[in-house]
Structure 1
Amino acid sequence: MQRWRSLDEMPAEWGRCVLTIGVFDGVHRGHAQLISRAVKSAAVRGVPSVLMTFDPHPVEVVRPGSHPAQLSTMHRRAELAEELGIDVFLVMPFTRDFMKLTPEQYVEELLVNRLHVSEVVVGDNFTFGKQAAGTVDTMRELGARFGFDVDGVQLLGEHAVTFSSTYIRSCLAAGDVSAAAEALGRPHRVEGVVVHGDGRGRGLGYPTANVAPAMHSAIPADGVYAGWFTVLDGDDHQRRPAAISIGTNPTFEDGRARTVEPHLLDFEGDLYEKRVAVDFVEQLRGMRKFESIDELVEAIGHDVEEARKVLSAQSVEE
């Protein structure tokens, strides 16, 4: 798969393509449906499939300081798009000039003159152009004028719930990582770098990796979770079981900063400065303040055993 950081990276001999457009944060099951439609159509037409996303998030440009919690890093989105068969992952810089393009300019200058689209695949709630004035119907009208097809896909959902990035963020904010995983099609992932903490976990007999998450990461609600820990750097990408604590360590008076701290089961090793991924499978309990250190240690021991049971059962199912 080719990855372009702008249209300047397009080959000079570029021909036609099938394009799907969106932020694609999380690349959830609804996004996967759009991407699969684009990939299949491109194969039938014998042209490349292109996914176009944006950086920074459009909301951050329209309303600075309001960047939504991010379900996936741009690198992760590209990985997931590649797994779904996309040929080109295009990241368009979303600038103030870009957001001023009228719907007609957006289509003619970008989709027709630059990308030479044969077909555009979007969700049926898709909007584009200045003040989001363009809709799927607008795209169809312009497609008829400029000679490309438009596939407006009904949003995927189950049990009266439409899968969307907003819905998944609400699940995570409530600590319901199981519901988030159902909508994503896989456990929610937080990526980051292991940094030095206060070493308190080691002193309690349960050392943790203090993960500094990537900027704007969507962090689940405070609590303890069963999940998987993977080192992304180097060659060792083994998925390891973990009990993950999120919160401010309320048992200790100096607990102020909110942290993501996985305790890896049956593992010893130096993880500092490693780029890692933490995948959340199930919430075990909410965060609470304990009356004594002994009570806390007992609770952690129980958390570790519960995490082991949950993850062993998942491994058997897989």
Structure 2
Amino acid sequence: MHIWNSLDQVPAGFGPCVVTLGNFDGLHLGHQEVLGQVIAVAAARQASAVALTFDPHPAQIHRPDSAPGQIMGLADKLEAMEKLGLDGVLVIPYTLEFAQQSPEEFLRNVFVSTLGASAVVVGHDVRFGRGNVGDLDAMIRLGTQLGFDVIVVDDKGYDRRWSSTWVREALDKGDVETAAQVLGRWHSMSGEIVHGAARGRALGFPTANLSPDAAGSIPADGVYAGWLSDEQQHRWPAAISVGSNPTFEGVSRQVEAFVIGRPKEPVEAFNLYGQHVVVEFVQRLRGMVAYTGPEALIEQMHQDVLDTSSILSADPSVIPSVIRSVIGSEETA
């Protein structure tokens, strides 16, 4: 898949193509429906299937103090788009200057002159141009003038329309199962594993700590059953903690995963420090609780691991030996 990070990077004379536009934050099922239509129409027309998106999110430019957090990072979004089968993605650097284009200027400069669009696939709620004054009626009218067809994708969903807002609301409540229903996959974060305070190791549960700048929305505080995938394409069941470690009067929020079934020997076989990993959230086990001391916390952590193993169908028999193998380990993440 071609990735262009500016209009100038698109080859001269590119086209014909079938294109859509949007922020595609989370790349939920609604987005996938639109992109699937782009790919199908492009195949029928023997054209290229292209998506247009923006970085940063326009809300971060127009209202930075109230802009929503991003469900997934740009790199993860582009990877997911490639898996869907797109031929190209144009990532436009979004600026106040760019936003001043009228609807006609935007379509003429980007869709026609740069991409050579023969068709544009959009939803009923499409907005574009200065002040978002361009709507579906304007798209159809300007498409007739500028020489491209407009194909409208009907909204689909469960009890409500699929949307990034719905995903964010679910994650804010820790309802990762509803988020997964809207996304069509488990919600995930990705980032580098860094050194933490080593409290988990001291308790017998060494954890892989995600860097504070990891990509993806952090769900509500609590403990989750999920998966951790490393750079070697291993996918491990994991009990994932999100929060500030209230038992130890923590302050900053952290995402850390205790991996179930990690190899015992040699220790170096499971050194995740510095690796870029993906953490997926499957089900919330409980909220974050401040325990009266380490003993009560250790007992609860044993239960969290058992519950995670049950939910993910991991073999519970591996847990006691795994816990013993990592107590006191200094090299394991």
Place the TM-score, normalised by the shorter chain, in its bin.
over 0.9
Q: Deviations over 1:173-201 (max 9, x none)?
A: 00000000010000001111111111000
- Distance in 2 (CA, whole Å) between partners of 1:215 and 1:198 is 18
Partner of residue 67, structure 1 = 67
Alignment of 1:258 onto 2:214: no
Partner of residue 171, structure 1 = 170
The 3-state SS of whatever aligns with 1:266 is coil
Alignment of 1:298-313 (within 5 A): 298-312=299-313
Alignment of 1:294 onto 2:290: no
Between 260-269 and 7-16, report the one with greater CA deviation.
7-16
Residues paired across the two proteins, number: 308
- Cα deviation, residue 286, structure 1: 0.7
- Distance in 2 (CA, whole Å) between partners of 1:260 and 1:307 is 16
Alignment of 1:122 onto 2:122: yes
Partner of residue 249, structure 1 = 245
Asked whether the equivalents of residues 190 and 213 of structure 1 are also in contact (C-alpha less than 8 Å), the reply is: no
Q: Which runs of 4 or more aligned residues in structure 1 lie more than 2 Å from their structure 2 counterparts after TM superposition? A: 64-67, 213-217
- Cα deviation, residue 213, structure 1: 4.5
- Cα deviation, residue 216, structure 1: 6.5
The 3-state SS of whatever aligns with 1:113 is helix
- Distance in 1 (CA, whole Å) between partners of 2:273 and 2:223 is 22
Asked whether the equivalents of residues 73 and 214 of structure 1 are also in contact (C-alpha less than 8 Å), the reply is: no
- Cα deviation, residue 13, structure 1: 3.6
- Cα deviation, residue 80, structure 1: 1.2
Alignment of 1:88 onto 2:88: yes
Asked whether the equivalents of residues 224 and 285 of structure 1 are also in contact (C-alpha less than 8 Å), the reply is: yes
Partner of residue 5, structure 1 = 5
Between 112-121 and 195-204, report the one with greater CA deviation.
112-121
Alignment of 1:157-196 (within 5 A): 157-158=157-158, 160-196=159-195
The 3-state SS of whatever aligns with 2:104 is helix
Alignment of 1:48 onto 2:43: no
TM-score norm. by structure 1 comes to 0.94
- Distance in 1 (CA, whole Å) between partners of 2:183 and 2:124 is 19
- Distance in 2 (CA, whole Å) between partners of 1:123 and 1:194 is 39
Asked whether the equivalents of residues 155 and 162 of structure 1 are also in contact (C-alpha less than 8 Å), the reply is: yes
The 3 A distance-change label for structure 1 pair 18 and 58 is: same
Asked whether the equivalents of residues 70 and 217 of structure 1 are also in contact (C-alpha less than 8 Å), the reply is: yes
Partner of residue 57, structure 2 = 57
- Distance in 1 (CA, whole Å) between partners of 2:43 and 2:216 is 34
- Cα deviation, residue 215, structure 1: 5.8
The 3-state SS of whatever aligns with 2:89 is strand
- Cα deviation, residue 6, structure 1: 1.3
Gaps of 5+ in 1: 314-318
The 3 A distance-change label for structure 1 pair 39 and 103 is: same
- Cα deviation, residue 53, structure 1: 0.6
The 3 A distance-change label for structure 1 pair 215 and 305 is: closer
The 3-state SS of whatever aligns with 1:169 is helix
Partner of residue 276, structure 1 = 277
Between 301-310 and 105-114, report the one with greater CA deviation.
105-114
- Distance in 1 (CA, whole Å) between partners of 2:8 and 2:296 is 60
- Cα deviation, residue 290, structure 1: 0.9
Asked whether the equivalents of residues 190 and 214 of structure 2 are also in contact (C-alpha less than 8 Å), the reply is: no
Asked whether the equivalents of residues 55 and 92 of structure 2 are also in contact (C-alpha less than 8 Å), the reply is: yes
Gaps of 5+ in 2: 264-269, 315-333
The 3 A distance-change label for structure 1 pair 216 and 82 is: closer
- Distance in 1 (CA, whole Å) between partners of 2:204 and 2:310 is 20
Asked whether the equivalents of residues 192 and 214 of structure 2 are also in contact (C-alpha less than 8 Å), the reply is: no
- Cα deviation, residue 115, structure 1: 1.2
- Cα deviation, residue 48, structure 1: 0.3
Partner of residue 19, structure 2 = 19
- Cα deviation, residue 65, structure 1: 3.5
The 3 A distance-change label for structure 1 pair 307 and 86 is: same
- Distance in 2 (CA, whole Å) between partners of 1:226 and 1:18 is 40
**AA partner of residue 73 (structure 1):** G
Q: Deviations over 1:257-290 (max 9, x none)?
A: 1100100002152111111110000001111111
Asked whether the equivalents of residues 57 and 94 of structure 1 are also in contact (C-alpha less than 8 Å), the reply is: yes
**AA partner of residue 156 (structure 1):** K
Asked whether the equivalents of residues 193 and 275 of structure 1 are also in contact (C-alpha less than 8 Å), the reply is: yes
Alignment of 1:35 onto 2:30: no
- Distance in 1 (CA, whole Å) between partners of 2:117 and 2:44 is 14
- Distance in 1 (CA, whole Å) between partners of 2:119 and 2:274 is 44
Asked whether the equivalents of residues 191 and 213 of structure 1 are also in contact (C-alpha less than 8 Å), the reply is: no
Alignment of 1:136 onto 2:142: no
